[in-house]
Homo-oligomer: A and B are copies of this chain.
């Protein structure tokens, strides 16, 4: 592959990968569980905000149950994505802001998390094979999650 051809391909890959990430954000807003789950490989290893240490695959019924704990739409704002493509493999990292009103809280919340996402290009396009999202915690004795940080 010539260098120019390679550059165009890489740019196409980056556009496709960004679209995958944005589709998941849109599916949060639409509270569309199937849309959230769609780009994940069935055996994707997920390090999520909530225990346990690892989840394997996204389950539509579990996502639906989680969506149902929110009043109205859920915002997932995506910021500062860095996308590195090597052959059929891509690594993405950046920030997601989660916003909305959990029914249990009865008032809106909003916080930023860090996200690292690994994707593999399969016959049907880019699939998420690993995802790690987290919020750091204050080591001032309080151990509270640092929900007040800005990227």
A149: contacting residue among B53, B91, B139, CB under 8 A: B53
A132 within 8 A of B: yes
A95 near B136 with CB under 8 A, answer no
A29 within 8 A of B: no
Chain B residues whose C-beta falls within 8 Å of the C-beta of A118 in the assembled complex: 84, 91, 116
B136 near A137 with CB under 8 A, answer no
Chain B residues whose C-beta falls within 8 Å of the C-beta of A26 in the assembled complex: none
Give per-residue flags for A123-151: 1 if the beta carbon is below 8 A from chain B beta carbons, else 0.
Answer: 00000001010111111010111100111
Complex Cα spacing A9 to B32, Å: 43
Interface size on A, residues (CB 8 A): 39
Complex Cα spacing A87 to B136, Å: 32
Chain B residues whose C-beta falls within 8 Å of the C-beta of A144 in the assembled complex: 143
A48 within 8 A of B: yes
Complex Cα spacing A58 to B146, Å: 21
Complex Cα spacing A88 to B89, Å: 11
Give per-residue flags for A22-52: 1 if the beta carbon is below 8 A from chain B beta carbons, else 0.
Answer: 0000000000000000000000010111111
Chain B residues whose C-beta falls within 8 Å of the C-beta of A18 in the assembled complex: none
A selection of 19 A-B contacts at a CB cut-off of 8 Å is A47-B136, A50-B138, A52-B136, A53-B114, A53-B149, A53-B151, A54-B151, A84-B89, A84-B118, A86-B86, A86-B87, A87-B87, A89-B91, A93-B132, A104-B141, A114-B134, A134-B134, A143-B144, A145-B145
